[in-house]
Amino acid sequence: MDALVNIQGLHFTYPGTPFKLHIEQIQLATHQHTACIGPSGSGKSTLLRLMAGILTPQSGTVEVLGNSIHTMSDARRRAFRLKNIGMVFQDFALIDYLNVQDNILLPYRISPALQLDDTVRNRSKDLAHSTGLGKYLNRFPAQLSQGERQRLAICRALLPQPRLILADEPTGNLDPENKSTIVQLLKGQAAENEATLIMVTHDHDLLKGFDHSIDFSKFFARDTAYA
């Protein structure tokens, strides 16, 4: 299998807590759509942050596109993440003093590895229109609904055309119609960019559209302690 994500012998803990994440092996292929399901606190969001290099395992390896991102310097890891990984956070992580368009363009403002040009600006507008935000480009996050902020975070994550898309409950604040729209947008962008999509969700109705799922209630060893 042509693995875009390769995890081997991973161990991770949060100091001072009983939380333990132990993964012997995960390999996720290019173009694959994977859903992560399971109870709250079972490690789904933690796994996404390990894949993004936001967290570092105590032992084991996390490779993305053949790179062991946890062994990189902080600066190199950040540049790699901005260029290759689109991360949709549960809390959106928007910049309050930037308007919608500038929030979408943020990866290009802060990373010298990304070149901001008219093509990128036009793509940002296309993404905004495709998620119903086209008429709100000059609004600020505080002027948006919860669902609109969610869609804004998704647009920002997709703009650099990442090879790995990590979406942490991206449909959690959306109505059924918008849920379907967002999932199709994520899958469409993944297909267009030959990317791997990994999405955390509690909505089992969405699972039928994924290649496979990882059930965190069954995935780990029985002696694993959940937070």
How many CA atoms, within 13 angstroms, populate the side-chain half-sphere of residue 186? 35
Q: Which run of H or E residues covers position 214?
A: strand 212-215
Write the DSSP assignment of 55-97 as a string of letters.
S--SEEEEEETTEEGGGS-HHHHHHHHHHHEEEE-TT----TT
- pLDDT at position 197, please? 95
> What local confidence, expressed as pLDDT, does residue 102 receive?
97
Backbone angles phi, psi at 93, to 5 degrees: 55, 45
Q: Tell me, yes or no, whether 5 lies in a domain.
A: no
Answer yes or no: is 6 within a domain.
no
pLDDT tier at 63, thresholds 50, 70, 90: very high
The answer to whether 158 and 165 have CB atoms below 8 angstroms apart is yes
The maximal CA–CA distance of the chain, rounded, in angstroms, is 53
Q: 136: which 2 tokens? A: 């709100």
Confirm whether 227 is domain-assigned.
Answer: no
CATH number at residue 46: 3.40.50.300
Mean pLDDT, to the nearest integer, of 88-112? 93
pLDDT value at residue 225: 39
Residue 27 is predicted with a pLDDT of 92
Q: How far apart are CA 95 and CA 222, in angstroms?
A: 41
Q: Output the pTM of the full model.
A: 0.89
Residue 138 contacts residue 100 (beta carbons within 8 Å): yes
Q: Which pLDDT score, from 0 to 100, does residue 1 have? A: 55
User: Can you give the pLDDT at residue 212?
Assistant: 86
> Is 163 domain-assigned?
yes
What's the pLDDT tens digit per position in 84-95?
A: 999 998 888 999
Please write the tens of the pLDDT for every residue from 150-209.
889 999 999 999 999 999 988 876 778 778 888 888 898 888 888 899 999 888 888 888
**Is 119 among the domain residues?**
yes
**pLDDT value for 218:** 62
Number of domains in the chain: 1
Q: What is the pLDDT of residue 226?
A: 35
At 8, which amino acid appears? Q
In a domain, 95, yes or no: yes
Domain that holds residue 176: 32-57+73-219
Q: In this predicted model, what pLDDT tens digit does every residue of 27-40 receive, in sequence order?
A: 998 889 999 988 88
Per DSSP, the three-state class of 123 is helix
Question: Is there a domain that residue 167 lies in?
Answer: yes
Quick one: tokens of 10? 């991973």
In a domain, 63, yes or no: no
DSSP assignments along 26-60, one per residue: EEEETT-EEEEE--TTSSHHHHHHHHTTSS--SEE
Distance CA 30, CA 167 (A): 16
CA 93, 156, 37, 70 torsion-angle sign: negative
pLDDT of residue 193: 84
Mean pLDDT of the chain: 88
Give the model confidence (pLDDT) of 11-24 as tens digits. 999 998 888 888 88
